[in-house]
């Protein structure tokens, strides 16, 4: 029987891995699933002695579920194309999963597996982690597929005021609206509706009928997955100016056209990686009946970022003052969920005095020794971090070796004119407190650039580029280095 062939083959791959319990995921295709990153990281952090296994299940789903139960598998995630059909294989399905019409998590009980859907509570938690509440907010859902159905359920469940579903095929949007009203409408003792959520279906070409107001936008289509994709559902920049906050369920690429547009409009956004994070966290908590703490959650998020964006290493930024190391470093750390360290700030905090004071009271040589000590200390403890270095740190040969060991080193090359424009008038730069700072910049650049080049694995020019452009080059470089 196929179920045993599939299960035995996969389990045989892990026969040398000792584990007290096994969990896993059923899907087709399953090769690129990120779920093992989530759950193996949790298992290691919490000492759970569990192993997460991907199972490629094409058909005979019911037999595979029974086989998993017979083998004592603690719990399972379910992904495409089985999220709907698996509901027929279970002893019970949670009410929320029934309403959404999809199950992504199976929890073992004495009689069999019970099905849950952690996708939407995971998305709600992700939105909440960005400091945004759904309660009493107006929502615009882009798309009318399975993800949109789940998003509408989540919005109403978490107290949204009104939800608009926009789709090119408006009948699909109406079906979701009608189904969700049937779930949430409250009836009085006479059978009349006493309370019903406001859910409106809108055809894509009728989007201007939506009142001018502020909305949380949730992008639920596949538009943006491929290079060259445009905007989803509505191709009108003015429409998106109504966004209060934007969510795209896509997480790779980091920035879809929808995300880029909203950011250009100054609107806060979030991609789908944190939804992936929290749905996995919630699945694991259901299986183990144990809360996953914040520190572990942060570790999992950093591991996911490393897996998705190809940056499992520390990212080290070198370059002259004003090259953008701190600004770009903070941006990347926020995007990837990495820790951010500025070596100058690290030294200032440790010494309890400003860099100007260190230079004036103890001298430059003392400061350079502090830099060496700092890189050595950070190298012993940092993983998945972005480190912005002081402009003079790579001068020492010892420091350059330590930087190479610390992570992938990026030289942010910046011309003297750009640097002068960026830092002109800044009195926190002790080496530029002179009569002609521009000449000093040119002289120091010529002197230091060979050291920057020797320390660097990758050179990236920052002149006339936005923070996002430089960050994208770093992401792309990380991916190429892994191939």
Catalytic residues: 83
Cα–Cα distance, 248 to 274 (Å, whole number)? 11
For 336, the token pair is 């990837």
Cα–Cα distance, 390 to 387 (Å, whole number)? 10
Secondary structure (3-state) at 446: helix
What would the DSSP string read from start to end of 224-271?
A: TSSTT---SS---HHHHTTEEEEEES--SSSS-HHHHHHHHTT--EE-
Alpha-helical segments (H) within 71-221: 95-100, 119-129, 146-157, 170-184
Cα–Cα distance, 250 to 252 (Å, whole number)? 6
Buried b vs exposed e over 443-474: b needs ≥16 C-beta within 10 Å?
ebbeebeebbeebbebebebeebeebebbbbb
Q: How many Cα atoms are found within 13 Å in the side-chain-facing hemisphere of 415?
A: 5
Secondary structure (3-state) at 480: helix
Task: Determine contact, residues 196/220, Cβ cutoff 8 Å.
Answer: no
Q: Minimal CA–CA distance to 430: which of 366, 475, 374, 338?
A: 366
Q: How many residues does the chain have?
A: 483
For 221, the token pair is 């289509």
For 469, the token pair is 């452009």
β-strand partners of 246: 217, 269
Cα–Cα distance, 148 to 150 (Å, whole number)? 5
Task: Determine contact, residues 272/248, Cβ cutoff 8 Å.
Answer: yes
């Amino acid at each position: 029987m196929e179920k045993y062939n599939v299960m035995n083959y996969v389990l045989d791959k892990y026969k040398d891995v000792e584990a007290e319990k096994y969990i896993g995921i059923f899907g087709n295709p399953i090769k690129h699933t990120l779920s093992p990153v989530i759950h193996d990281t949790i298992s290691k952090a919490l000492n759970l002695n569990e192993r997460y296994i991907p199972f490629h299940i094409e058909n005979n789903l019911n037999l595979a579920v029974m086989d998993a139960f017979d083998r004592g598998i603690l719990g399972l995630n379910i992904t495409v194309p089985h999220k709907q059909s698996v509901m027929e294989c279970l002893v019970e399905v949670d009410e929320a999963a029934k309403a959404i019409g999809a199950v992504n998590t199976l929890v073992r009980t004495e009689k069999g597996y019970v099905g849950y859907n952690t996708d939407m509570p995971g998305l709600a938690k992700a939105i909440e982690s960005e400091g945004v509440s759904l309660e009493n907010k107006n929502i615009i859902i882009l798309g009318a597929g399975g993800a949109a159905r789940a998003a509408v359920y989540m919005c109403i469940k978490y107290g949204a005021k009104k939800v608009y579903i926009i789709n090119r095929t408006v009948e699909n949007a109406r079906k979701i609206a009608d189904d969700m009203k049937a779930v949430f409408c409250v009836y009085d003792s006479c059978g009349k509706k006493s309370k019903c959520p406001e859910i409106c279906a809108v055809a894509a070409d009728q989007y201007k009928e939506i009142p001018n107001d502020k909305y949380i936008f949730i992008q639920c289509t596949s538009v943006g997955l491929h290079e060259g994709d445009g905007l989803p559902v509505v191709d009108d920049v003015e429409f998106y100016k109504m966004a209060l906050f934007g969510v795209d369920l896509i997480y790779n690429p980091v920035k879809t056209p929808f995300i880029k547009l909203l950011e250009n409009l100054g609107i806060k956004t979030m991609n789908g990686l944190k939804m992936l994070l929290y749905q996995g966290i919630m699945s694991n908590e259901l299986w183990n009946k144990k809360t996953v703490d914040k520190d572990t959650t942060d570790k999992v998020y950093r591991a996911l970022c490393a897996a998705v964006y190809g940056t499992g290493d520390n990212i080290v930024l070198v370059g002259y003052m004003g090259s953008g190391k701190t600004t770009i470093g903070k941006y990347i750390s926020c995007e990837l969920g990495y820790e951010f360290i500025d070596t100058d700030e690290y030294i200032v905090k440790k010494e309890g005095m400003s860099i100007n004071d260190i230079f004036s009271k103890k001298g430059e040589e003392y400061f350079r020794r502090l830099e060496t000590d700092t890189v050595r200390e950070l190298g012993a403890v940092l993983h998945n971090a972005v480190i912005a270095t002081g402009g003079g740190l790579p001068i020492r040969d010892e420091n350059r070796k330590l930087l190479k060991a610390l992570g992938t080193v990026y030289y942010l090359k910046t011309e003297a004119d750009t640097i002068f424009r960026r830092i002109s008038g800044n009195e926190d730069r002790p080496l530029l407190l002179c009569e002609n700072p521009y000449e000093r910049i040119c002289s120091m650049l010529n002197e230091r650039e060979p050291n920057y080049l020797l320390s660097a694995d990758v050179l990236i020019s920052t002149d006339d580029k936005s923070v996002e452009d430089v960050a994208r080059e770093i992401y792309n470089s990380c991916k190429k280095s892994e191939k």
